[in-house]
Amino acid sequence: MLTLIKATMMIIFLMVILLMALNLVSKKTFLDREKSSPFECGFEPMTSARLPFSLQFFLIAIIFLIFDIEISLILPIIITPKISSIPSISITMALFVIILILGLYHEWTQGALNWSK
């Protein structure tokens, strides 16, 4: 046990030494104007590189991901009748779908699904 602690301490010590050495050797200059400016075929940018982002599109994408993950949670229920009873699976599945529908209704009433405002 003592050798394991010694080996762990040596590894941590070596990691800290290497980390400090790498930070000293590989200092990058962030003040270089050419590297920090956006590149457009060698010309100065015509418009701002920071375009406004559609928050509505972001919300729709997040809602899609949430429902996509929930669908992946529903799929293993196909295998569970072999290990569990049908009534308990039916109740669990019904509660899960009801929660999904309530979440969709909440998003709809909050106006997150209305694309044009």
pTM of this structure: 0.45
pLDDT in tens, 68-87: 888 788 777 777 777 788 88
Which residue carries 């050797």 as its tokens? 25
The end-to-end CA distance of the chain, in Å, is 66
The chain-wide mean pLDDT, for the chain, equals: 79
| Distance, CA of 73 to CA of 80 (rounded, Å) | 12
106 vs 57, which has greater pLDDT?
A: 106
| Distance, CA of 87 to CA of 14 (rounded, Å) | 58
46 vs 25, which has greater pLDDT?
A: 25
Highest mean pLDDT among 9-13, 30-34, 43-47, 55-59: 9-13
Domain locations along the chain:
55-75+88-110
| Distance, CA of 97 to CA of 3 (rounded, Å) | 55
